[in-house]
Structure 1
Amino acid sequence: MESGPTPHLEGVRGDYAPTVLLPGDPKRARFIAENYLTNVKLVNSVRGAEGFTGESNGIPVSVQSVGMGIPSALIYYTELIRFFGVKKLIRVGSCGGLNESVRLGDLICASAAGTDSAAIEKLNDGLTLPSVADWELLYSAVNVADNAGISMAVGPVFTSDLFYGPDPELFSKLTRNGILGVEMEIAGLYALSKAEGVQALALVTVSDDIIRQEIMSSADRESTFDEMIQVALGII
């Protein structure tokens, strides 16, 4: 059985819990570890991509930053699964809202992710296949949110390879097709988790309301999103 360290994660097998929360921003990873976990230890600092392991209500859980975009995130997802034995991956991030039903600060549970990424075709043997959430985790997240009185939209998102894309009509096309939000990692997570036989779910908070042209501050992106973390920790 393969074990770390790897070129991007300096720990060894056992340093990460079976469940890992996956923000993009290392500052958000540290914020989650310091404010939501107990008995925390730093398990990775390679390239500034901090990772931590601790406990939530006595249950081991890790948090690892993965950077931005599918190519960066897939490196961390793959190494966590293959070299550290991670079985449950929960993306906690942000997105741009594309639907009248979601507003700035709202929580979205991504049931599936469309994409324009060529990387996903490679993971799917050249086929156009759906990238979908693990049903058990999605069902659990809905129950956790309902029991906590947290409003959470459930539906499809779109994972884009380009933050600054050439198509000025992309957002309106996605809105017409019922997409709730746009981001840059989820399709990769869902496609890889299917290929590797592990569970994955993505929770994202609307940090940019594209419909209403509202935007969250960078400080809020690092330190808010409390309801998202509550739901994520509720399904570990």
Structure 2
Amino acid sequence: MATPHIELEDKSKIAKTVLMPGDPLRAKFIAETYLENVEQINGVRNMFGYTGTYKGKKISVMGSGMGMPSIGIYSYELFKFYDVETIIRIGSAGAYTDKLNLYDVVLSTAAWSESSYAKTMGVSSKKKLNATKSVNSALKRSAKKLGIEIHEGVIHSSDVFYRINGDEFKDIHEKHGCLCVEMESFALFANALATGKKAACLLTISDSLVTHELTSAKERQEAFTRMMEIALNAKVWPF
């Protein structure tokens, strides 16, 4: 049956693995560019979701929106009510180090956050939550096969996009080893723990807090194809 935020009635129409960009238009782009036999499975609040096939495998892609409360709602409903086994976030991030350039791909080993999301959920009081190792291994194998370099490490999941102290990222990078910042993966990892499911996070560097370089909104929507292709080609079971 449908949930308050996902209109799909028949859960058999959603794949066991869901790719989850923050931007619903990025979900639309992936569906139209890579998938065959596409069916739209959600349009509530314009949070577009699609199911199709990729190289014969059934796969779904759906937007999460921005921030932990938003991905927290959608990922929990997918895990809990639609029998989704694995969610791979494919998002954008801001670099905390000059060793990362625009369009570099980062695989999160863990997410550190100041957020109380996991504690409020009753899952964990820890400030760092790990990605699922087996899914990360599949993503690394996919990247290697495609010849795409990835950077692995801890990332920062923040509740705040516009920080008053713009240099605070330097302390976070030094104290917690965070390579970059985004706003969703900590909640996704918490929901995976809460439901006994699997979660991972692939990111493309869209801007740099060090060099102040940045990409456009259109580039964030359509140009992050290496990250998309790594996720699409990962042999995550069940797909």
TM category, shorter:
over 0.9
Letter in 2 for 1:5: A
Deviations 1:67-114 (A, max 9, x none): 000001110001111111100100011000111221111000001000
What's the counterpart of residue 65 of structure 1?
63
Decide whether the 8 Å contact of 1:94 with 1:206 is kept in 2. Answer: yes
2:6 to 3, 6, 9: 9
Query: Is the counterpart of residue 185 in structure 1 residue 184 in structure 2?
Result: yes
Which residue does 1:176 correspond to in 2? 174
Closer/same/farther in 2, CA of residues 87 and 125 from structure 1, 3 Å limit: closer
Q: Note the alpha carbon deviations across 1:92-149, whole angstroms, 9 max, x for none.
A: 1100011122111100000100001111222355622531110001111111111211
The one-letter amino acid of 1:174's match is I
Quick check: 69-78 or 115-124, which moved more? Answer: 115-124
CA-to-partner distance for each residue in 1:23-72, whole Å, 9 max, x for gaps?
11111010000001111011100010010000111110000111000001
Q: Any idea what SS the aligned residue of 2:7 has? A: coil
Deviation of the 1:167 alpha carbon: 3.4
Between Structure 1 and Structure 2, how many residues are aligned? 233
Structure 2 CA distance for partners of 1:222 and 1:125, relative to 1, 3 Å:
closer
Residue 227 of structure 1 is matched in structure 2 by: 226
- Matched letter for residue 21 of structure 1: L
Q: Which of the numbers 69, 81, 93 marks the counterpart of 2:91?
A: 93
Aligned-partner Cα distance in 1 for 2:78–2:141: 27
- Distance, in Å, in 2 between the alignment partners of 1:163 and 1:210 is 12
The answer for the alignment partner of 1:106 in structure 2 is: 104
List runs of 5+ in structure 2 lacking aligned partners.
none
Q: Which consecutive unaligned segments of at least 5 residues does structure 1 have?
A: none
- Give the 3-state SS of the residue equivalent to 1:91 in structure 2: strand
1:160 alignment counterpart: 158
Kept in 1, the 8 Å contact 2:68–2:184? The answer is yes
Local SS of the residue matching 2:155: strand
Q: Is the 8 A contact 2:123 2:194 kept in 1?
A: no
Larger deviation, residues 193-202 vs 122-131: 122-131
Match of 1:136 among 116, 134, 137: 134
CA, structure 1 residues 35+166, in 2 after alignment: closer, same or farther (shift >3 Å)?
A: same
Paired letter, 1:180? L
Question: TM-score with structure 2 length normalisation?
Answer: 0.94
Tell me the SS of whatever aligns to 2:40: strand
Contact 2:115–2:127 under 8 Å retained in 1: no
Secondary structure of the corresponding residue to residue 14 of structure 1? helix
Percentage of identical aligned residues = 36
C-alpha distance in 1 between matches for 2:147 and 2:124: 42
Cross-structure match for 2:125: 127
Matched ranges for 1:22-101 at <5 A: 22-101=20-99
* Structure 2 residue aligned with 1:204: 203
- Aligned pair in 2 of structure 1 residues 126, 31: CA closer, same or farther (>3 Å)? closer
Query: 8 Å contact 1:124–1:191 — kept in the other structure?
Result: no
Amino acid in the other structure paired with 2:227:
M
